Every structure is written in structure tokens, then in C-alpha cells.
Amino acid sequence: MKKMELIAPCHFGLEAVLKKEIYDLGYEIIQVEDGRITFEGDEEAICRANIFLRTTERVLLKVGRFRAVTFEELFQGIKALPWEDFIPADGKFWVKKASSIKSKLFSSSDIQSIVKKAMVERMKQEYGMDWFPEDGASYPIRIFLYKDEVTVTLDTTGDSLHKRGYRQLSSKAPLTETLAAALILLTPWRADRILVDPLCGSGTFPIEAALIAANIAPGMKRHFLAETWDNLFPEELWESCFAEAEDMVNMDVSVDIQGYDIDGEVIKAARENAKRAGVDGLIHFQQRAVGELHHPKKYGFILTNPPYGERLEEKEALPALYAQIGRAYEGLDSWSMYLISGYEEAERYIGRRADKNRKIYNGMLKTYFYQFLGPKPPKRNRK
């Protein structure tokens, strides 16, 4: 199969997690940049990356890269790319997104218009056509300009990969599935350790943890745009990759994953989401306040996403809420706590400084991943 360069974008600050995921799938990393990883793979890699990667937002197929400081250079650079190798004569093609950072060309709408015109000119020459019906499969293009370097890609994913398909019911401020999975993978949690989210909302942390524990590929229950690209991907290739994902599932795993929330309707929604994800049998959801968090076992994990105070009415309640979290954690012998929050006073009201603190951007919002580390459990004696 033909080797290609693929680009996987991710949340800023979580590149190392995605890099490990790609390595674990068996692919070679070419470049690591802020918010994205470039790796090498064939057609099967595109299918497998979409189905198996938990922490990327989408999988992009790199068409080309060149330098442009004028719109004429942009036009000629796009026209020189082999679009006929990717888009059939009836394909629907448009520039879905154009972003520019520290580049002389910065108008997104102008970039989009010029790229489309250049593509049409190239395809007119190659297909001997003056007009394209664009009534076939969709081929959206994403363009990135950084310091006048233009990276041109085709979006193989369609709807962002954080849309696993299970979360139709959400709480007020949900955490994206890709970010939740990345934060879980940042911790030393494994399926044989207790995991509790005392402010679980729509259940994203518990559900993503259960998917990881049972080795369920996050893209197993959804479709991808490139499945319609029969000029590039035979149907049996997708079928083979989905079958690989099915074979890897282990629903016999023994886990203790719990999610609490004070709102009964929210818990009901979380249960429905877990059922849709196929992991409702692996999670115990319960209506319970943070202050009631206690557990007799040692060496467990708290992993949670409490309110940040983005709404004015929430802000006044934050000191008491974070103090409750701190008191609950203090009463859990040998536990670790991992907490993502944009609340600057989080450590103050929890009552102790985090052992580690990692800055992560949740969309455009700056947050911190506070890590309060408990002791490691003793090693089991092996006979």
C-alpha cells in the first residue's frame, strides 16, 4: 500500500499522549508540533487511526506543503498539487477551514476562495472538463498557514472524533470525549484500580475509562467521511478494520468505576449515555453529593471536572464546593486525585497544593490539570 503523511490534531499540552497512541498502533512519527502530530501510514492506517485513536480530533491526509507569501504563490502552489489522485471528477470539494498564524496571508475567506479556484483549474486540465457536477462523495479540504508555510490536507473524518456517538444527553458544561480520554491516559490508572468521578455530569470520564478498560475502540460505533471515498478505500478495508476492533473487545474485564452527581436527572442521562456506549454494565452511577464521597478501599483514584465559575451564579458557590472536594479527598486513605479546572483558587480551597500541575487548553479556555498523588500500592507477591 502507498505510504502517506497523516496529521492528527489534539488539545494543546496533550501531544505526548497522542504520540504514544500512534506509536502503539504501530506507525512512525514524522513530526510533533503544538497541537498536532504528523505520522506515516497507508490507506489502512487512515481507517485504523479513525477507529482506534482516543485523543485526536480528526485524521487528516496531507496533500502537500509549500511556502506562499502572496495570493499568486498560494494559487500556483495549490494548482501544482495532484488533486486528481485524491478527488474523482464527480467529487464535491470545498475548503472547510483555513487558519493562518504569523503569516502574510491571513484572510480566511480569501484563502478559501483562491484555493477552490486553483483546484478547479488543476482538475479542468487533468479531467478535460470545464464544469464539475460535484454530486458525488464529499472531500473537504483544511488549510493551515504557519509562518508562511502552507499545509494542505483532506479531512478523512468528517464529524470530529470526540463525537463517539454515545453522548446524546449532556450536562451544562461537558468535557469532550477526546480530552477526557487523554486525561485518563495521563494518569497511572489501570482497570484493576478504583476510579470515582464525584461530579460526573453526563458521565464522560467514567464512560471513557470503561471503554479503555474493556479495550473498546472509540470509533467502533460511528462512521467516517472517508468510508464514502471508494476511489481510495475499498469497502472491505473498512470492514477489516472494524472487525479488528470487534475482536479486541473484552467485556469480561473486572472494574470498579463509579460516577456520582447531586442531580438525579443528570445521573439518568449519564446512564443512558453509558448504555449507548455499551459499557453500562461496567459503571455504577449514583445520585450523591460530593460531601458524601467515601470508600473503604485504598489506592483509588478521583478523576473529575468540577465547575470553573464561568457563569456568575456558579462563582459564589465555588469556594464551598472545592472545600468539600478537599475534605472528601482528605478522608480517602492512600488515594490519588486528578482534577481539571479553570478556577484559579482551586488549590487554595481544596486545602493543599497539587504535587503536579499541567496547563491544558480546553478549547480556548486555559485550564489546569491538578495532580494530587497518593502512594503506589504494594507489589503483589508472585509465586
**What pLDDT does 111 receive?**
98
Angle at 182 between CA 314 and CA 349, to 5 degrees: 35
Instruction: In whole angstroms, give the CA distance from residue 287 to residue 208.
Output: 20
C-beta separation of 257 from 191 below 8 A: no
**What pLDDT does 129 receive?**
94
**What pLDDT does 310 receive?**
66
**What pLDDT does 359 receive?**
92
First-residue to last-residue Cα distance in the chain: 47
In 158-295, alpha helices (H): 177-186, 204-213, 235-248, 264-277
C-beta separation of 257 from 204 below 8 A: no
Angle at 125 between CA 122 and CA 127, to 5 degrees: 100
**What pLDDT does 173 receive?**
54
Instruction: In whole angstroms, give the CA distance from residue 335 to residue 249.
Output: 29
- pLDDT tens, position by position, for the chain (383 residues)? 689 999 999 998 899 999 999 999 999 999 999 999 999 999 999 999 999 999 999 999 999 999 999 999 999 999 999 999 999 999 999 999 999 999 999 999 999 999 999 999 999 999 999 999 999 999 999 999 999 999 999 999 999 999 998 987 555 556 899 999 999 999 999 999 999 999 999 999 999 999 999 999 999 989 999 999 999 999 999 999 999 999 999 999 999 999 999 999 999 999 999 999 999 999 999 999 999 998 899 999 999 999 887 665 678 889 999 999 999 999 998 999 999 999 999 999 999 999 999 999 887 788 999 999 999 998 866 54
199-242 pLDDT per residue, tens: 999 999 999 999 999 999 999 989 999 999 999 999 999 999 99
pTM of the model: 0.94
